Structure 1
Amino acid sequence: MNIWLGTIPAFLLATIGAVVLMRRKRRSGLTLLVVINAAIMAGALALVAAALTAGPATAATVTAATATAATTTGSGGSALIAAAIAVAGSSLGASFAVAYTGSAALAAMSERPEIFGRAMVVVGLAEGIAIYGLIIAIILIGQA
């Protein structure tokens, strides 16, 4: 199980607690939430400062296998990030395209029901944008 899925109940409880606090005590609740957010931000900044000022990690022994593995994985990470960007961008573009073409298709079909087939073709073409991004991602992952 992913560790981030385990934090969902904590975030849900924090949100519910903040809503209840704001409904019961407006002014003091807002002050308390600002103080809590400032403390979390200070902790995050301290963590970032510690990560940025830390020295490089060194291994005690470096074998030939780990040295070659370290040198060959440099461009693979960039290809994976590029694949993620391709999928995310194409999915967002497809979602906007389907939203606009789908609403226009439904409006047109409410006036003329016989154009159902042509309207669904346009919506299907909009969904194809996401498939193109997925194909590009597969190509990029294959080259990684």
Structure 2
Amino acid sequence: MSMLVKITLVITLILSILIPFGYFLLGEKRKNRYLITIGTNAFFFFGTMVLAAILMFGGNVDAATELPNTPETLDATNAAVNTIASAPSDLSVGMGYLAAALVTGLSCIGGGIAVAAAASSALGAISENSSILGKSLIFVGLAEGVALYGLIISFMILGKLG
């Protein structure tokens, strides 16, 4: 990746953050201004990240030199082609690591939201009737299970990569 592409990606990333929030701060005071700002920011930010991933993990193609057609060179060429074909590409490995990170992060965010809702409701219910402590702990534990399932899926993805 050339220096010009790197500089362009950095500028695009910075502008994808600054332009929506500049609109939010200086724009017309409307009811849905916040949603437009977040939507625009997410679209440009993740678009820039996808473009950066494609450019970063894309490989270069090199031309091969012509070899004589002897049995030794054919065997060596076949062995090299089989080795390259069986090895995972940089793009698939990189996207696999990205998938594992997303699974872990999003499951923890979802588990945190679920625990926040379940725990506050459980505390309110326990304060009214202390005999339902066990039942309320089950629901809080189920909400925490979301994060654990995400972690297990992340380990499964990492196990497939290497």
1:48 aligned to which of 1, 4, 7: 7
Q: Does 1:82 align with 2:41?
A: no
What letter matches 2:7 in structure 1? V
2:131 aligned to which of 114, 119, 127: 114
Q: Deviations over 1:31-64 (max 9, x none)?
A: xxxxxxxxxxxxxxxx723879xxx99xxxxxx8
What letter matches 1:49 in structure 2? T
Shift of 1:101: 0.3
Q: Closer, same or farther in 2 for the Cα pair 1:126/1:50, shift >3 Å?
A: closer
Q: Does 1:72 align with 2:88?
A: yes
2:142 aligned to which of 109, 125, 136: 125
Q: Does 1:101 align with 2:118?
A: yes
Mapped to 1, the partners of 2:154 and 2:9 lie a distance apart of 35
Q: Closer, same or farther in 2 for the Cα pair 1:78/1:114, shift >3 Å?
A: same
Partner SS for 1:72: coil
Identical-residue share of aligned pairs (%)? 38
Mapped to 2, the partners of 1:73 and 1:50 lie a distance apart of 23
Superposition TM-score, scaled by structure 1 size: 0.53
Mapped to 2, the partners of 1:112 and 1:48 lie a distance apart of 61
Mapped to 2, the partners of 1:50 and 1:132 lie a distance apart of 35
Shift of 1:73: 4.3
Superposition TM-score, scaled by structure 2 size: 0.47
Mapped to 1, the partners of 2:126 and 2:9 lie a distance apart of 60
Mapped to 2, the partners of 1:79 and 1:50 lie a distance apart of 22
What letter matches 2:8 in structure 1? A
